[in-house]
Chain A
Amino acid sequence: MVDFYINLFSSIELIKSYQSSIFIISVLLAGIPIFGFMAVNALVAVYVERKVSAFMQDRLGPMGHGVGLHAGKWGVLQTLADAIKLLTKEDIIPESADKKLFLLAPCIIFIGSFVAFAGFPFNEFLIAADFNLGLFYILAMSSVGVIGIILAGYSSNNKWSLYGSMRSAAQIVSYEIPAALSLLPIVMLSGSLAFKDIVLAQTGSTLGILPNWFIFNNPFMIIAFWLFFIAGVAEVNRTPFDLPEAESELVAGWMTEYSGMRWAFFFLAEYANMFIVAGVATIGFLGGWLSPIPGYFDGSIWGVFWLVSKTSFLIFVMMWFRWTFPRLRTDQLMRMCWKFFLPGSFFVIIGVGLWDLIMR
């Protein structure tokens, strides 16, 4: 997108000479919709999470009924009310906290997610920053958030926060490895790290009905998909891996001392990370912006629709996990990563390679 805007503005004779300001304007024009999308994603995701959790528990969730300023017809205004409440809350900074780091931590976490979003494609054309190593870039940038978490836990000057942030850092860093390794089969099958090529390698269909997505390519790819997905859930700190922010054990873990809009930043970053993990899984395994019925409903706008709906389905599966399972203890989590997921991802790489070699 940035290249597109630069070319667009450079072709206008009047402003052709102001290259630096053209650059700044095109970056802003590409980046602000991303921020808008992140915010809308968080709002919608919070509403959907509350409704999904309520339906799974035989209750109704936020509903609006009757006269007065209620929460809209099906409770749709509830998230808006929450957002307004968070904006108007008092900003409490504990006296003995390290003030600079305390203020810096939400910024770093937000920057990590935002920067990862910048390389995320919604379509063949709609990418804010089009690299030819898109996949690698997103994986790298989603690790920036760990620094923010550690800073948040340390600067709160609170035993509980410290505990939570240390656990969270260990967890995220460990689960990066199976996540990255499970994405290697995609690179093997498509031959490139760029998103465009990955999705291009999944066009067409076998036998006319089954789309050519990577997940159907190879029985090992199904295992790779689940490994990546679960490792991704662990990276985002969702149940069953949410011991760092476990409500019943550490009050709120490393986020305990944050209130109001700062807490909202953490929340926003969590939902943005969820979207990124689900999005990368969609693009890599489920065909990205291709339609499930090959040949029909293809096109640019349909592409955005398919991508967002497949990602939303995966986000729903993440929420489904959260409201069904208890949480794992830290050492069990680590054990699962190093003893089960890591060998599993090696096994998948070897399996995909062998299958491909034999079948071709």
Chain B
Amino acid sequence: MSFQKLGMELLLIKLKMGGNKINNQNLNNNTDEEMVLNIGPQHPSTHGVLRLKTITDGEIIKKITPYIGYLHRCFEKHCENLTYEQAIPFIDRCDYIGSMNNDFGYAVAVEKLMDIKVPEKVEYIRVIVAEMNRIASHLLAVGVFGLDVGAVTPFVYCFRDRERILDLFEMLCGARLLYNYIWVGGVSHDFPIGWVEKTYDFLDYFEPKIIETNDLLTYNKIFIERTADVGVIPPEVAISYGVTGPNLRGSGVKWDLRKNDTYSIYDKFDFDIPVGTGAMGTIGDCWDRYYVRIRELEESLKIIRQALDQMPRDGDVYESMPKKIRPKAGHIYSRTESPRGDLGFYIESDGSATPSRLKLRSPAFTALSCMDEISKGWMLADMLTILGSLDIVLGEIDR
């Protein structure tokens, strides 16, 4: 491809991304009816530093352009200088809300690359902590969504329940939010004495809380009016944009990597995949996505209970941990189900102790990309509802 052609391609990409001067002048040329509103990087309601340039005609949205990159930390390039063990604290920090799931995905990828088989106890431990982190992440998503819509109290309740999970994690590995717990070939510590009983207590404590959240928020008529029929993602649009996770399941597509592309020991557990059915409006609206998350809380509770019952109580977690992680040359792409969707890792190794390329496929990035399409024709207040229902984390989008 000649350099001119390459230049033209880059120019077209720049135009599409909305960052070029020509495009900006175009926007300034708008008619009197259109207003450019900047929901800027500092705003109480964007989930991180995100800039949304909105063109409205007063109230109805015509076009949204998200500007990202405010949280970019050059994570992927930096990992090329770190060994495989040293990269784990950095992978934690990408999706800082569900960081056990990040580590899980990475460990599964590197173990596939090196053909390591971990002992059964380690698999159970990983599933338990990953599902607990999924509960914590969904609680945050549900609470913040309520906050966006105006209900402050469910937010505080969800955080109070989330604190119990974080206390359990602090007892387990010392850290509350960024764990560095799931390592390649095993986990860093075994469960301390008394942790399993405390987890059972937590499961008993948490089940009535879901009912309370349902009473307070899910079936509340004002909430339903705010979220039903708003921001509908039709299933074809979702699949064509690459949206995965609860956003895709909210549109009626029954696709979950824990069942459809099983990794680790998820085939030993009996759980459902909740799918949006349009109970309060159309299939694929904000209420469906929210309700899928609430139902996933219940399913995760089931998985954790079964895992705690089935887990072998004795075993060494350090058995299959390699002394030096030095995979053979090759590459691999593996994916796992994080609370936001389909988290993919592409690792390319050249036989040394540091990866030569590490790429993270972020599910929230694709969710944000479809935002322009689904919010055309809605009002400003709805735009924040839609953004909240997509559950994005800027750390994952910008890396």
Contact = CB atoms under 8 A, between A and B. Distances in A.
B24 interface: no
B46 to A, nearest CB: 10
B157 A57 contact: yes
From DSSP, what is the main secondary structure of chain B's interface residues? helix
Interface in A233-282: 239-240, 242-243, 246-249, 251
Interface stretch (A9-17, A198-206, A321-329): A321-329
Nearest to B147: A248
A56 B153 contact: yes
A326 B160 contact: no
Contact of A325 (B35, B148, B151, B384): B151
Contacts, number: 70
B149 A326 contact: yes
B45 A248 contact: yes
How many chain A residues sit at the interface, stated as a range, is: 20 to 34
Contacts of B156: 57-59
A326 B43 contact: no
A82 to B, nearest CB: 19
Given A249-B380, A324-B216, 20 more contacts: A57-B152, A239-B150, A242-B150, A243-B381, A247-B44, A248-B147, A248-B148, A249-B384, A324-B153, A326-B151, A326-B217, A326-B223, A327-B149, A327-B222, A327-B226, A328-B225, A329-B225, A329-B226, A330-B379, A332-B225
B382 interface: yes
B37 interface: yes
A159 B150 CA distance: 21
Nearest to A322: B152
16 contacts: A57-B157, A159-B37, A163-B380, A247-B44, A249-B380, A249-B384, A251-B44, A323-B153, A324-B216, A325-B151, A326-B146, A326-B150, A326-B220, A326-B223, A327-B149, A328-B225
A331 interface: yes
Contacts of B152: 53, 57, 323
Interface of A: 53, 56-59, 159, 163, 239-240, 242-243, 246-249, 251, 323-332
B150 A240 contact: yes
Contacts of B223: 326
A323 B217 CA distance: 12
Contact of B226 (A242, A251, A326): A326
Nearest to B384: A249
Contacts of A330: 59, 379, 381
Contacts of A327: 149-150, 222, 226
B4 to A, nearest CB: 42
A60 to B, nearest CB: 12
A334 to B, nearest CB: 12
A74 to B, nearest CB: 20
Given A240-B222, A248-B45, A248-B384, A57 B153 contact: yes
Interface-central residue, B150, B225, B384, by most chain A CB under 10 Å: B150
Contacts of A249: 45, 148, 380-381, 384
Interface in B25-79: 35, 37, 43-45, 59
Contacts of A247: 44
B150 A331 contact: no
A187 to B, nearest CB: 32
A330 B149 CA distance: 13
